[in-house]
């Protein structure tokens, strides 16, 4: 009976990991973004649909990934929207993300300026390969406008991972404790 329960658990975990993979409508690589580094990419659209643009990158030391997405719509009808930015661990295999979802930022655009998303950030990240997915939606296309009349430019950067304040406080307490123990040992 325990073996059957274990098999069901493994099957559910495997299904959940595949369920979190994102199918990519376009793929590319940003290369090595080991901190401190910055890269950007542009995508334009000429047909109605939902899009998931995937860009993989690697880092060789712990880092935070952050960035901005600026979208444009020359029709001025608000027929295009960047709906979310997600980060997956792992690269791109057969047109889909190969790892599990780390997080999704669904920050509504237009918070400060129409078309400029408030930004996204993920971290701290360990050294490895990651895939950034920009999800967008085109609801209408005007035929007399040229191709590329709507799209976005995404800028992605990395910074050094900085420990949380709580981690630094625990480290400080540990050092104080070690110093006190050494002092007590020397006095004895």
- Three-state DSSP class for residue 175: helix
Q: How far apart are CA 44 and CA 64, in angstroms?
A: 27
* 174, part of any domain: no
* 186, part of any domain: no
* 16, part of any domain: no
* 180, part of any domain: no
* 137, part of any domain: yes
Q: How many other C-beta atoms lie within 10 A of the C-beta of residue 127?
A: 11
**Cβ 134 vs Cβ 41: under 8 Å:** no
Q: How far apart are CA 151 and CA 186, in angstroms?
A: 68
Q: What is the DSSP letter of 177?
A: H
Per-residue pLDDT of the chain (188 residues; tens, 9 = 90+): 454 454 444 443 444 444 468 899 999 999 999 999 999 999 988 888 999 999 999 999 999 999 988 888 777 766 788 889 999 999 999 999 999 999 998 874 544 445 555 688 898 999 999 999 999 998 887 766 556 578 888 999 998 877 667 666 777 777 777 777 778 878 87
What is the span of the domain harbouring residue 155?
22-162
CATH at 96: 2.60.120.1050
Q: Report the number of distinct structural domains present in the chain.
A: 1
Residues in contact with 159: Cβ distance below 8 Å, sequence separation at least 6, in sequence order: 35, 36, 63, 64, 66
* 58, part of any domain: yes
* 75, part of any domain: yes
pTM above 0.75, yes or no: no
Residue 168 is predicted with a pLDDT of 66
φ, ψ dihedrals at 165, nearest 5°: -55, -35
* 15, part of any domain: no
Q: How far apart are CA 63 and CA 123, in angstroms?
A: 7
């Amino acid at each position: 009976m325990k073996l059957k329960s274990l098999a069901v658990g493994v099957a559910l975990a495997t299904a959940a990991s595949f369920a979190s993979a994102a199918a990519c409508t376009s793929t590319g690589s940003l290369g090595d973004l080991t901190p401190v580094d910055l890269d950007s990419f542009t995508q334009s659209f000429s047909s109605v649909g939902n899009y998931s643009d995937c860009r993989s990158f690697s880092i060789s030391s712990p880092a935070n990934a952050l960035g901005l997405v600026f979208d444009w719509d020359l029709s001025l009808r608000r027929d295009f929207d960047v709906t979310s930015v997600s980060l997956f661990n792992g690269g791109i295999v057969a047109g889909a993300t190969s790892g599990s979802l780390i997080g999704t930022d669904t920050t509504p655009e237009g918070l400060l300026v129409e078309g400029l998303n408030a930004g996204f950030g993920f971290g701290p990240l360990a050294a490895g390969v990651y895939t950034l997915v920009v999800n967008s939606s085109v609801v209408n296309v005007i035929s007399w406008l040229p191709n590329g009349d709507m799209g976005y430019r995404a800028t992605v950067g990395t910074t050094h991972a900085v420990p949380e304040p709580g981690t630094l406080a625990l480290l400080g307490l540990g050092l104080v404790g070690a110093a006190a123990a050494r002092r007590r040992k020397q006095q004895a």
